[in-house]
Amino acid sequence: MGLLFFLFLATTISDGSPAKETIPGDKVLLLGPGTGPGVDRAPGLSCLSWRLAVETNNIIDWNTVPGQCEDYIGYYMLGQQYRKDSAMVTNQALLHAQSLTVGRDGKDVWVFDIDETSLSNSPYYASQGFGAEPYDATSFNKWVLEAKAPALPESLKLYQKLLSLGIKVVFLTGRPEDQRNVTSSNLRLVGYHTWEKLILKQTSYSGETAVAYKSSERGKLVKSGYRIVGNIGDQWSDLLGTNPGNRTFKLPDPMYYIG
């Protein structure tokens, strides 16, 4: 599936039905053979159960979306349910932020992951079977260098409201340091106009897990006197480990897993 398919879906799947993903008779429900390469095909697998188990961290260390769930995940990502699920999370995040007493010292920060949290790579993943095809670093990095990832609308709204509450934003991403310029350009282009820090992964962390890298960088923040009042990401590896923050918020992402 290419970008054309993405645009087709984006145009047609927007009737606001919360159940679009599971309408009987819809090809999504049939869960027929996907078009991705050879992945495990568990007969009778419920894609809804698979997605829930992924989001709750019960299924870990997975490589690709099961072939028969490719269409299901595609509809989910491009339809209304992904947006609604994201809004439910960012609304909770905002309620938490509004309950805080923000310090006058400017040391209250909220940690944002970038990919599938601040920026959406759905246009790219539409060409990759929405995660049904194995991760391809070459084509993904090419997409990143184009700097045209759209904002996740619910996350951008949260970002704006946090700033208005006096909370500063720290971006903490697994993107490598050599993608700093293109990342900051992309962020600014879609509305993330300011930040306290933009932390990218140094080569010194190569071979370390995402949990170890992100815990270490959050530890540095805390050591510098920052208070991490919130932390939002699409991967559990953004939210587990040490110094996770006062509260963590898990956005949906059924397309890929980072441990």
Strands 108-112 and 227-233: parallel
β partners of residue 198: 171
For residues 3 to 32, the per-residue mask of contacts with its own copies, x marking binding by CB under 8 A and - elsewhere, is --------------xxx-xxxx----x---
Closest C-alpha to 29, from 45, 53, 8: 45
Site for its own copies in 239-258 (CB under 8 A): 249-250, 252
Q: How far is the CB of 42 from its own copies (least distance, A)?
A: 9
Residue 131's φ and ψ, nearest 5 degrees, are: 100, -5
Structure tokens at 218: 């959050």
Report the sign of the C-alpha dihedral through residues 76, 80, 81, 82, in that order. positive
CA distance 128 to 67: 12
Q: How far is the CB of 180 from its own copies (least distance, A)?
A: 30
Interface stretch with its own copies, choices 80-88, 109-117, 131-139, 207-215 (CB under 8 A): 80-88
Site for its own copies in 30-59 (CB under 8 A): 46-50, 52-53, 55-59
Q: Which is nearer to its own copies, 60 or 145 (CB)?
A: 60
Q: Which is nearer to its own copies, 129 or 252 (CB)?
A: 252
Q: Which is nearer to its own copies, 95 or 137 (CB)?
A: 95
The owner of tokens 């490598």 is 176
SS3 category, 89: helix
Q: How far is the CB of 46 from its own copies (least distance, A)?
A: 4
Structure tokens at 47: 């894609």
Binding site for its own copies (CB under 8 A): 17-19, 21-24, 29, 46-50, 52-53, 55-59, 81, 84-85, 87-89, 92, 249-250, 252
